[in-house]
A = this chain, B = another copy of it.
């Protein structure tokens, strides 16, 4: 049995709580796995990891499952849709149940913000945050950092513009904490009603034209369902004001790269041709997610 402190050190709840040395150690280990030729290792043979997704996500669950299997771990998938969560079972009880059954670590994604932090106080296995509300999505930010590191050789000194619905974005937050700790400069660009007031002190808001002058232009996914709530005028209007259109992409400096956490709304926040262009690192980001998550899971239970 690990001590409570040890468990917490091995959990990954967010990047806000890590320091640059810890982040660098994860990125170094990701580089190790990235170069590893053997597709399935036996590092975690006989260890059980459970992917507990109380909020659906094909992409993220798949990336974690791939990482777990490449480490040789046994994988148990749980999704709320196919579960008894509907009949009143709380997230806490589910996690405690899986813990009681003997899993060694849990990857967890959930809608409400703040629940994960409470949860981690109550269980004695390491938890890995796969996205919690609008709070953090640390493995996404780590794969973004790793992608920048591979592209530019160093994160320190980069200027990264994050464009879109900052207020509701856990990806923006995790990138903000991770990038600033690693010495990059972050700037946001968002519609007035999608700015996050509490982040103002950490990164400036700039216009779309200023945002395009950066080493990395990171577009966020638009939640089209916000249109219903009146927060979004229309997809067309959003694209016109904040979208990375072909016209805007053509104006980017030759060394500037484009990132997006995916899935993309093609021709809303980013044009179809831009997604597939040479400047786009969107598919490499997905590839990089696997070694990054291998490093995070290995750190949790090796």
Q: Could you list which residues of chain A lie within 8 angstroms of chain B, going by C-beta atoms?
A: 38-40, 45-48, 50, 56-59, 62-63, 65-66, 69, 74, 76, 78-79, 81-85, 87-90, 93-94, 96-98, 100-103, 224, 262-266, 283-284, 286-287, 289-290
Contacts and interface: CB of A to CB of B under 8 A. Distances in A.
Query: How many copies altogether?
Result: 3
A72 to B, nearest CB: 10
Contacts of A93: 262-264
Nearest to A58: B83
A142 to B, nearest CB: 16
B66 A48 contact: yes
A59 to B, nearest CB: 5
- The winner among A50, A101, A265 for most chain B CB atoms within 10 A is A101
Contact of A102 (B47, B79, B224, B290): B290
Contact of A59 (B38, B39, B48, B84): B84
A87 B265 CA distance: 10
Contacts of A76: 62, 65-66, 69
Contacts of A48: 39, 66, 69
A269 to B, nearest CB: 12
Nearest to A287: B100
A45 B40 contact: yes
Contacts of A290: 101-102
A74 B40 CA distance: 9
**Which 6 A-B pairs rank lowest in CB-CB distance, beginning with the nearest?**
A100-B286, A58-B83, A89-B263, A39-B46, A40-B46, A100-B283
A101 B289 contact: yes
